[in-house]
Amino acid sequence: MSNNGDDRARGLLDLPKGRVEMRFSGKAVLVTGVASGLGRAVVQALATEGAKLVLVDRAEEKLETLVANLQSGGCEVVSIVGDVSQEQTSKDAIAQALSRYGTLDILINNAGINPTGTISQTDPAVWQQALDVNLKAAYLFCREAIPHMVDAGRGVIVNTASIAGQRASTAEAVYGVSKAGLIMLTRTIARDYGARGIRANAICPGVLEGIMADRLTRMSPDQVVARDQRFAPTVPLGRLGTYEEIAKSILFLASEDASYVNGAQLTVDGGLTA
């Protein structure tokens, strides 16, 4: 990699130093749910590998901070503040990608929420909101992006699902249902559009050290510690996963390293569901 590339990587906060593989150089990548957690880790990893980014989140202040950080390191990036479950947000985001970069090579549907509770404990409004953010939003962004990918004869879609969508988890009724639906949406796209040059895959993380932002607001620091201590011993690797580890797997699916991977559910859970 050139010295300019090295300087660019060093300019990005919290990113690995040294030689960085540039699998996404010149690629236009749209990522939703980027202001914190896994989405932020994915965006930072993409930036080190040369991606041109379109970022979508509803947390305006955090999004602005992330964009400024990326731009200071030389990354090409534009952003959209909006609710991913609203159709106009997907239209605006794809339009921004096409206007700025002339193409959209990769779509990563990462936005999600994690309300907890059994069926009887889940209010209908909460149920609908989880389906809208976790499943409908991915449908809207895929629906808007796929025609452009078909015209280009290529494209990659990665959807952030969960092991909760593969097997039932206690008191995560609507979360599990929404993620199971997302896995099936991914497989449907893979089946319908593979012959048009589009790959679609789902990443299924296990229990991570970080906690999704919406759930963290409902937990005290002591509850977070207790949660980590409870789950870590159940994982065969003996620890919880990190956002950075999941991000690496997402980048694998998005890259040409996974050129023959289509319709897959990549489980990254330290062996928890083995």
- How many CA atoms within 13 Å lie on the side-chain side of 225? 3
The residues pairing with 170 across neighbouring beta strands, listed in sequence order, are none
Instruction: List the one residue out of 23, 187, 44 whose CA is nearest residue 106.
Output: 23
State both tokens at 108: 């990563």
Cβ(30)–Cβ(141) below 8 Å: yes
- Which one is catalytic: 175, 193, 243, 260? 175
Cβ(231)–Cβ(205) below 8 Å: no
Give the integer Cα–Cα distance in Å for 15 and 33.
Answer: 19
Give the DSSP H/E element, type plus range, for residue 79: strand 77-81
Cβ(28)–Cβ(36) below 8 Å: no
Cβ(54)–Cβ(28) below 8 Å: yes
Cβ(84)–Cβ(133) below 8 Å: yes
In the numeric block, the tokens 């990563």 are attached to: 108
Give the integer Cα–Cα distance in Å for 193 and 183.
Answer: 15
In the numeric block, the tokens 């990918």 are attached to: 149
Give the integer Cα–Cα distance in Å for 86 and 42.
Answer: 23
Q: Is 193 tagged catalytic?
A: no
Annotated catalytic residues are 175
